[in-house]
């Protein structure tokens, strides 16, 4: 079985965002792991207008070139780590929009969550768990929660506490196990598509 491909999705495009720095730290922790390749995927590189597809994503009939490019990219991964800020007790609008654009490209894959904010992005992650369930993304228990008061110097410079490395290792272990398991769930679909 080939290596797993896992995307670390930067869930904010806001000027002055911290998400890219947090995602780069997550990527650095994942380097050198056997059996999985991690790739940073920045929503800033995929400018998706507010959902503009006429048909529901579950139909899989995408009209926009931006949607088709996003779908092709997401389809190439086995699992995802969503890095989210917390805005108004939830995730960012841009991440929710990116999730809503697609359906089957998310199905039967695995997800993990990394939150950051005043309470470590905990409420954003809880909302993402509900969204992931509807998209048939199997989400793992371990998450990372970076607190604006303790993991950022002067609320700006990312300086995570050392304990987060241990939690990150557990997150990767769980995500890789579930990504591999969900790949086997998708195998009948993949075999049927090849016929």
Q: Work out the average pLDDT over 14-21.
A: 96
Q: Is the pLDDT of residue 57 over 80?
A: yes
Confirm if 147 and 164 have CB atoms less than 8 A apart: no
Question: How many angstroms separate the CA atoms of 36 and 30, rounded?
Answer: 9
Residue 28 neighbours by CB under 8 Å, 6+ apart = none
Say if residue 40 is exposed, middle or buried (CB neighbours under 10 Å; 0-12, 13-18, 19+): middle
For 141-166, write each residue's pLDDT tens digit. Answer: 999 999 999 999 998 999 999 999 99
Residue 65 neighbours by CB under 8 Å, 6+ apart = none
Confirm if 73 and 41 have CB atoms less than 8 A apart: yes
Q: Is the pLDDT of residue 1 over 90?
A: no
For 81-138, write each residue's pLDDT tens digit. Answer: 999 999 999 999 999 999 999 999 999 999 999 999 999 999 999 999 999 999 999 9
For 166-184, write each residue's pLDDT tens digit. Answer: 999 999 999 999 999 999 9
Q: Is the pLDDT of residue 190 over 60?
A: no
DSSP annotation of 148 reads: T
pLDDT band for 191, please (50, 70, 90 cuts). Answer: low
Strands (DSSP E) found in the chain: 4-10, 36-42, 79-85, 109-117, 137-147, 152-153, 157-158
The larger pLDDT score, comparing residue 127 to residue 2, is at 127
Question: How many angstroms separate the CA atoms of 140 and 129, rounded?
Answer: 9
Q: Which CATH number among 3.30.1490.20, 3.20.20.140, 3.40.50.360, 3.30.70.141 corresponds to the domain 4-194? A: 3.40.50.360
What's residue 188's pLDDT?
73
Per-residue exposure over 82-120, b if at least 16 CB sit within 10 Å of its own CB, e if not: bbbbbbeebbbebbbebbbbbbbbbbbbbbbbbbbbeeb
Q: Is the pLDDT of residue 53 over 60?
A: yes
For residue 156 the two structure tokens come to 């700006």
Q: Domain map of the chain by residue range? A: 4-194
What's residue 69's pLDDT?
98
What is the percent of the chain with per-residue pLDDT over 70, rounded to a whole number?
A: 95
Confirm if 87 and 93 have CB atoms less than 8 A apart: yes
pLDDT band for 56, please (50, 70, 90 cuts). Answer: very high
What's residue 193's pLDDT?
59
Q: Is the pLDDT of residue 2 over 60?
A: yes
């Amino acid at each position: 079985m080939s290596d797993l491909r896992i995307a670390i999705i930067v869930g904010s495009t806001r000027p002055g965002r911290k998400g890219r720095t947090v995602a780069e730290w997550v990527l650095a922790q994942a380097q050198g792991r056997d059996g999985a390749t991690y790739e940073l995927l920045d929503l800033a590189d995929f400018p998706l207008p507010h959902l503009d597809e006429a048909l529901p994503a579950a139909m899989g009939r995408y009209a926009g070139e931006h949607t088709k490019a996003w779908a092709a990219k997401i389809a190439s991964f086995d699992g995802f780590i969503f890095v989210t800020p917390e805005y108004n007790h939830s995730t960012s609008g841009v991440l929710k929009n990116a999730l809503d654009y697609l359906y089957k490209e998310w199905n039967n894959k695995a997800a993990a969550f990394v939150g950051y904010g005043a309470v470590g992005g905990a409420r954003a992650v809880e909302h993402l768990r509900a969204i992931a369930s509807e998209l048939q993304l199997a989400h793992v228990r371990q998450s990372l929660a970076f607190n604006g008061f303790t993991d950022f110097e002067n609320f700006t410079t990312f300086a995570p506490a050392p304990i987060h490395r241990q939690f990150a290792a557990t997150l990767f272990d769980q995500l890789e196990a579930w990504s591999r398991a969900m790949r086997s769930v998708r195998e009948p679909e993949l075999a049927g598509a090849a016929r």
